[in-house]
C-alpha cells in the first residue's frame, strides 16, 4: 500500500511487490474459498505484537483494578432432610419422559423449594431486622439498608438474587444458601428462611387432613349445641310437669319419650363426631411436613467470592481472542479488497483517513511497507 502525490492510497498485489509472505496469510480463491497459511498467520501476529500486547495488557489491568474493588462475599448454607410420602413411580415417569409433570404431594417436603422461593416468604424475610456480629462490632440491619432499596418488589428481587435453593433428585435433601458481605448476616438470613418455612407449615399450609379436622371441629361444635338444646328442652318440660314420673297421662309419657330419644340420637352423633375429630387431629400431626434440619445455617469463615483470579484469566483470554480475531478480519478484508472490491475498500480507507488518529496509523503503515518494498530480503 502506497500514497501517491495526490494523497490517494494505492495497493500493490503479490505480483507487483513481491511480498508473497507477509500479505498472503489469507488467500481468497473463488473456487476453493479462503485458505489460511498458519506460518504466515503467525508472522502476521508477530508483526502486530505491539497492538496485541497493548490492548490485552490494558484490558487485563483494568479488569484487575475493577475486581480488586469488589467486596468480599460470604455464603452461608443449610440443608433440610426430606419428609412426607415419596413418589414411588417417579423413576418410571422419568424413564417415560414425563419428568416435567408435577407429582408433588401437598404435604411433602418436595414443595419446600417452591415455598422458600415464593413471594410470600421473600416478602416476610425481606422485612425482618437482623442482628449479627461483624468482627468485634454488633450490627442491627434491615435488608433495605443493606441493598439501599426501599421498594418492596425490588427488595424481594434483590433478596432472591443472593439466594440459592436446590434439591437433590436422588436423596431429596434441600440446600439453601445466601451470600452477602457479612458472614453473620448471611447466617441470619438463612436462619430466617428456615423459621418462615416452619411457620408456614404450622399455620398456613392446609393439607386435606387439616381441612378435614377443621370441618369436623365445626360439626362437633354444632352437634354440641344441638345436644345442649335438646337436654334443656327435656329439663324445662320436666320442671313444668314435676310429677311426670308419677303421671299416667299418655301425652306426658309420649313427650318424655320423644325428648329422651332426641337426646340419645344427638348424643350418639356428638360421640361419633368427637371420635372422628380426635382421629383427624392425629392425622394432621402425621400429615404435617416437619422441617428436619440436617445442617444448621453455617457461619462462613472463608470468602466465597469474587473469584478474582478466574475473572482476570477469563478477561485476558477473551481480550486476546478478540484482538486476534480483529486482526484476522482486517487482514481478510485487505486481501479481499485486492480483487473485485478494491475500489470500495479504497473509498472506505479514504473515509477513515478523515480521522486524525487513524490517518497517522495509515501513514506509519505506508512508510513501513515502502521500506520493505524498496529493500526486499
Residues 64-76 have pLDDT tens digits of 999 999 889 999 9
Of 129, 139, 121, 128, nearest to 184 by C-alpha is 139
Q: What is the pLDDT of residue 340?
A: 52
Residues 156 and 237 in one domain: no
In sequence order, the 6+-apart residues with CB closer than 8 A to the CB of 96 are: none
- Summarize pLDDT for 22-51 with one digit per residue, the tens: 444 555 454 445 566 787 788 888 888 898
Residues 144 and 222 in one domain: no
Which span out of 17-21, 104-108, 293-297, 360-364 was modeled with the highest average pLDDT? 293-297
186, 178 contact by CB (below 8 A): yes
- How many residues comprise the chain? 377
| Proportion of the chain in helix, strand, coil states, percent, rounded to 5 | 60, 15, 25
Q: What is the pLDDT of residue 207?
A: 61
Q: What is the pLDDT of residue 16?
A: 41
Confidence label for 376 from pLDDT (cuts 50, 70 and 90)? low
Confidence label for 235 from pLDDT (cuts 50, 70 and 90)? confident
In sequence order, the 6+-apart residues with CB closer than 8 A to the CB of 207 are: 106, 107, 284, 287, 288
Q: What is the pLDDT of residue 120?
A: 93
CA dihedral over 11, 13, 14, 16, signed as positive or negative:
negative
The answer to whether position 316 is within a domain reads: yes
Cα angle 304, 118, 295 (rounded to 5 degrees) comes to: 45
The answer to whether position 336 is within a domain reads: yes
The answer to whether position 301 is within a domain reads: no
**pLDDT over 90 at 108, yes or no:** no
Of 153, 141, 129, nearest to 182 by C-alpha is 141
Cα angle 23, 26, 30 (rounded to 5 degrees) comes to: 120
**pLDDT over 70 at 344, yes or no:** no
Q: What is the pLDDT of residue 91?
A: 45
pTM (whole model) above 0.75: no
The answer to whether position 243 is within a domain reads: yes
Average pLDDT over the chain reads 79
The answer to whether position 101 is within a domain reads: yes
Confidence label for 131 from pLDDT (cuts 50, 70 and 90)? very high
Residues 97 and 195 in one domain: yes
How many domains does the chain contain in total?
3
- Summarize pLDDT for 280-295 with one digit per residue, the tens: 887 776 666 677 899 9
Which span out of 6-15, 162-171, 235-244 was modeled with the highest average pLDDT? 162-171
Confidence label for 331 from pLDDT (cuts 50, 70 and 90)? confident
Of 202, 193, 162, nearest to 80 by C-alpha is 193
Separation CA 260–CA 247 (nearest Å): 17
Residues 199 and 224 in one domain: no
Confidence label for 242 from pLDDT (cuts 50, 70 and 90)? confident
Q: 126 lies in which domain range?
A: 74-205
Residues 100 and 145 in one domain: yes
Which grid cell is 160?
432472591
- β-sheet bridge partners, residue 163: 178
Separation CA 70–CA 115 (nearest Å): 32
**pLDDT over 80 at 172, yes or no:** yes
For 6-20, b/e burial (b = at least 16 CB within 10 A) is eeebebbeeeebeee
Residues 31 and 108 in one domain: no
Residues 43 and 79 in one domain: no
- Summarize pLDDT for 138-163 with one digit per residue, the tens: 999 999 999 999 999 999 999 999 99
Residues 15 and 50 in one domain: yes
| More reliable by pLDDT, 376 or 200 | 200
* Residue 266, CA distances (Å) to 229, 232, 270, 349 in order: 10, 13, 6, 103
Show which of 187, 205, 223 is a domain's final residue.
Answer: 205
**pLDDT over 80 at 339, yes or no:** no
**Residue 172 region, left (φ>0) first, then alpha (ψ -120 to 50), else beta?**
left
The answer to whether position 298 is within a domain reads: no
What contacts 24+ positions apart, CB below 8 Å, involve 31-39? 34/332
Mean pLDDT of 124-142: 91
Separation CA 89–CA 80 (nearest Å): 23
What's the CATH code of the domain at 268?
Answer: 1.10.287
Amino acid at each position: 500500500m502506497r500514497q501517491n502525490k495526490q494523497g490517494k492510497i494505492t495497493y500493490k498485489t503479490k505480483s507487483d511487490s513481491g511480498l508473497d509472505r507477509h500479505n498472503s496469510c489469507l488467500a481468497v480463491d473463488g473456487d476453493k474459498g479462503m485458505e489460511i497459511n498458519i506460518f504466515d498467520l503467525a508472522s502476521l501476529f508477530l508483526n502486530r505484537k505491539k497492538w496485541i500486547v497493548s490492548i490485552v495488557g490494558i484490558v487485563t489491568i483494568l479488569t484487575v483494578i475493577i475486581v480488586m474493588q469488589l467486596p468480599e462475599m460470604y455464603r452461608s448454607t443449610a440443608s433440610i432432610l426430606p419428609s412426607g410420602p415419596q413418589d414411588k413411580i417417579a423413576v418410571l415417569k422419568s424413564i417415560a419422559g414425563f419428568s416435567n409433570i408435577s407429582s408433588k404431594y401437598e404435604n411433602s417436603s418436595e414443595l419446600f423449594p417452591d415455598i422458600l422461593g415464593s413471594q410470600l416468604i421473600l416478602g416476610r424475610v425481606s422485612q425482618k431486622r437482623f442482628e449479627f456480629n461483624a468482627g468485634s462490632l454488633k450490627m442491627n440491619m434491615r435488608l433495605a439498608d443493606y441493598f439501599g432499596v426501599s421498594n418492596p418488589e425490588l427488595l424481594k428481587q434483590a433478596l432472591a438474587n443472593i439466594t440459592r435453593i436446590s434439591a437433590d433428585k436422588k436423596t431429596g435433601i434441600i440446600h439453601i444458601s445466601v451470600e452477602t458481605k457479612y458472614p453473620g448476616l448471611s447466617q441470619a438470613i438463612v436462619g430466617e428462611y428456615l423459621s418462615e418455612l416452619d411457620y408456614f407449615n404450622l399455620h398456613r399450609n392446609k393439607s386435606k387432613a387439616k381441612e378435614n379436622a377443621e370441618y369436623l371441629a365445626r360439626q362437633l361444635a354444632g352437634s354440641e349445641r344441638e345436644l345442649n338444646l335438646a337436654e334443656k328442652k327435656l329439663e324445662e318440660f320436666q320442671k313444668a310437669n314435676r310429677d311426670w314420673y308419677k303421671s299416667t297421662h299418655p301425652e306426658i309419657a309420649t313427650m318424655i319419650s320423644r325428648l329422651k330419644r332426641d337426646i340419645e340420637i344427638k348424643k350418639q352423633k356428638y360421640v361419633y363426631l368427637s371420635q372422628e375429630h380426635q382421629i383427624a387431629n392425629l392425622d394432621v400431626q402425621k400429615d404435617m411436613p416437619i422441617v428436619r434440619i440436617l445442617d444448621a445455617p453455617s457461619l462462613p469463615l472463608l470468602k466465597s467470592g469474587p473469584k478474582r483470579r478466574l475473572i482476570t484469566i477469563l478477561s485476558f483470554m477473551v481480550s486476546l481472542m478478540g484482538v486476534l480475531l480483529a486482526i484476522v478480519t482486517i487482514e481478510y478484508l485487505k486481501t479481499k479488497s485486492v480483487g473485485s472490491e478494491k475500489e470500495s475498500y479504497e473509498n472506505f480507507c479514504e473515509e477513515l483517513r478523515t480521522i486524525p488518529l487513524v490517518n497517522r496509523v495509515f501513514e506509519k503503515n505506508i512508510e513501513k511497507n515502502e521500506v520493505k518494498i524498496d529493500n526486499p530480503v
